[in-house]
Structure 1
Amino acid sequence: MTTPGNPDVLNLQEMPDPEIEQPTELLVRLKAAGTNPIDTKIRQRGTFYPDAMPAILGCDGAGIVEAVGSTVRKFKPGDEVYFCQGGLGKQGTGNYAQWAVVDERFIARKPKSLSFPEAAAAPLVLITAWEALYDRGRLEAGQKVLIHAGAGGVGHVAIQLAKLKGAEVCTTVSSSDKERLVRQFGADLPILYKQTDFAEAALNWTEGKGVDLAFDTVGSQTFYDTIPAVRVYGDIVTILEPDGKSGNLKVARQRNHRISLELMLTPMLQGLVSALEYQASILEQCATWFDEGKLKIHLSQTFPLQEAAAAHRTLELGSMMGKIALQIE
């Protein structure tokens, strides 16, 4: 990416190979990169490091360890790994590439049961859903949760993580195909929101009390429309900033809602080592669940690396199910 703009600003170029500079770092031969909405937003608006151009996008990666720093003990050359690191515009990072250098503390072993594209599609959405449900929302067994856009990248793993915690799940979808998909992931009540008022459906499902936790992955009006569906003293977690134009928090205040904001990029942006290590531990646990058949990633489409612009166009169309990944040869 040489300048902000439409997908055509993504061009295949030869760049200097990143090199191990710290003793705790790994050199990874990338086999696949995940694509996420944050990638398209950065491409449109500019990176977090505007003075460092050109930039390589892509927070999610999966590949094979090629070399290790002098103090690395956890990994060795030949190990298969996956991670969410880089891709925000900082020089020497980004996973739409053949090579990446990542600190061993921030990386996890790839699930054996997943292909490289599947593994690369997983980290950012897994961490987002985990932190939103388990950490911000304090989800407990037996609770009822509303998850928006259950067939989307974050939504489809959030359903599974909620079920693994022992919760009951209702989720919004836009079509019968998506309804079938979310049922496969364990959703107890898919709500076709174009035909049914989702807040009313959630209230009926909870006998008028409201859900214990709502997870908003859509934002704007959806965030405010969700408030009446949450019980008194319940939780709302959103991954988007409430805009203040679509509604107000009067009802949320009256119902004593706890509102939490989730941005899984914060540790990367602020260099919070312990938080980055925690996120790697999330990926380690999820790798176990993948290999035990308790967790799945829905990879809807792959593109070769040189067609990253086409992948962005597909992502920006919206209404897709699951994730898109780039395959790197």
Structure 2
Amino acid sequence: MLAILMNATGGTEVLSLNEVPEPRLSGERDILVRIRAAGVNPVDAKQRVLGPYKSRDMPVILGCDGAGVVERTGPECERFEPGDEVYFCSGGIGDAQGNYAEYTVIDERYCARKPRSLSFVEAAAAPLVLLTAWESLHERARLERGHRTLIHAGAGGVGHVAVQLARQAGARVATTVGSEDKAELVRELGAELPILYRTTDFVEAVREWTGGEGVDVALDVLGGDTFTRTLGAVRPYGELVTVLQPAPDTDWTEGRLRNLRIGLELMLSPMYYGLHEERIRQTDILEHCSALFDAGLLRVVVTRTFPLAEAAEAHRAIETGSTTGKLVLTLD
């Protein structure tokens, strides 16, 4: 099969298209999936530069997100059969092969049925950002109906899904964006207050929106100074979740004075630690979101696709840090 191999850490030149052996079923509930599309995420580029989350010999195949068609099943498979369409976040870190490839093998319990209403490209864009947004809002921040919520980078990969999930939960949403076009997009997705962060102080805008109190819940996907400033945008005893590691020199004064609950989110943890039950829980989240997609209550925005052979170009695009929605590799 064809796959993109990462031969060393470094720039995009370390990614190359190669012929490699097709993976084989090993577990009794394994399925062989012909991948039709693979999502590209910032974590892929970070691992390319810094190395895989778990050290192992090169080369490696990156890519956590995938969507495709089941071709073969293990002897004890119960959920899927050949011809079924699936989507999943599995592989791409540690010892598991990623999805920048024509085929992958995955335990069927870590796959969800692809939403009927989504193309393979759209489905491949969804899993990692869905799980990140869902866990951040519902499991870390304990979002409730009526909560006022600040979501950073609301037109980005995680952000545009988080805006929709927050609205589905009955929350009111403010979100930071970098342009008028992105402001229009987040309004369509349900945001009440788009904040053009280049010209507007988001902390002041949020305080005005909330009558001086601050939001109940904030989701940070940018880190650095944005995380530190967001401490002052959350009401006392509120919730702030970040998907990035706070810097060692973070000034926690405002957060401590406000008695904030700080949540750290990494949806890759179940895969990293091999937590079987947690991975099944994540599959349940994807199944639930499939129903939302098919009911027209959720959408995923894909702004650009690349053939598998152009994975390096996709990495260059995502490293700009200003991508709207998601980028996806296609395999036909």
Choose from 143, 146, 151 the match for 1:147: 151
The worse-fitting range, judged by mean Cα deviation, of 310-319 and 270-279 is 310-319
Partner of 2:3: none
Question: Moved runs in structure 1, 4+ residues, more than 4 A?
Answer: none
Amino acid at match of 1:253: R
Give the TM-score taking structure 2 as reference length: 0.97
* Cα displacement string for residues 68-87 of structure 1 (whole angstroms, at most 9, x for unaligned residues): 11111111100000000001
Amino acid at match of 2:278: A
Q: What is the DSSP-based 3-state SS (H/G/I as helix, E as strand, rest coil) of the residue aligned with 1:113?
A: coil
1:33 and 1:49 mapped to 2: Cα distance? 21
1:241 and 1:84 mapped to 2: Cα distance? 21
- What's the CA shift for 1:48? 2.5
Q: What is the DSSP-based 3-state SS (H/G/I as helix, E as strand, rest coil) of the residue aligned with 2:19?
A: coil
* Cα displacement string for residues 165-221 of structure 1 (whole angstroms, at most 9, x for unaligned residues): 000000000111110111111000000011111011001100011100000000010
Amino acid at match of 1:29: R
> Is contact 2:56–2:95 with CA below 8 Å preserved after alignment?
no
The worse-fitting range, judged by mean Cα deviation, of 286-295 and 310-319 is 310-319
Partner of 1:17: 22
Q: Percent identity?
A: 55
Structure 1 unaligned regions, length at least 5: none
1:69 and 1:277 mapped to 2: Cα distance? 18
Choose from 246, 255, 264 the match for 1:242: 246
- What's the CA shift for 1:89? 4.5
The answer to whether 1:28 aligns with 2:33 is yes
Amino acid at match of 1:283: L
1:36 and 1:234 mapped to 2: Cα distance? 29
2:240 and 2:118 mapped to 1: Cα distance? 32
> Is contact 1:113–1:291 with CA below 8 Å preserved after alignment?
yes
Q: What is the DSSP-based 3-state SS (H/G/I as helix, E as strand, rest coil) of the residue aligned with 2:175?
A: strand
2:284 and 2:228 mapped to 1: Cα distance? 33
> Is contact 1:58–1:86 with CA below 8 Å preserved after alignment?
yes
The answer to whether 1:79 aligns with 2:84 is yes
The size of the alignment, in residue pairs, is 327
Amino acid at match of 2:86: V
1:200 and 1:214 mapped to 2: Cα distance? 14
1:97 and 1:320 mapped to 2: Cα distance? 23
1:309 and 1:89 mapped to 2: Cα distance? 21
* Cα displacement string for residues 73-106 of structure 1 (whole angstroms, at most 9, x for unaligned residues): 1111000000000011525x11000001011111
- Mapping 1:114-263, distance limit 5 Å: 114-245=118-249, 247-263=250-266
CA RMSD of aligned residues (A): 0.8
> Is contact 1:214–1:226 with CA below 8 Å preserved after alignment?
yes
> Is contact 2:40–2:65 with CA below 8 Å preserved after alignment?
yes
Choose from 270, 275, 280 the match for 2:273: 270
> Is contact 1:56–1:89 with CA below 8 Å preserved after alignment?
no
> Is contact 1:55–1:89 with CA below 8 Å preserved after alignment?
no
Partner of 1:58: 63
1:21 and 1:97 mapped to 2: Cα distance? 18
Amino acid at match of 2:42: P
Give the TM-score taking structure 1 as reference length: 0.98
2:67 and 2:183 mapped to 1: Cα distance? 30
> Is contact 1:29–1:99 with CA below 8 Å preserved after alignment?
yes
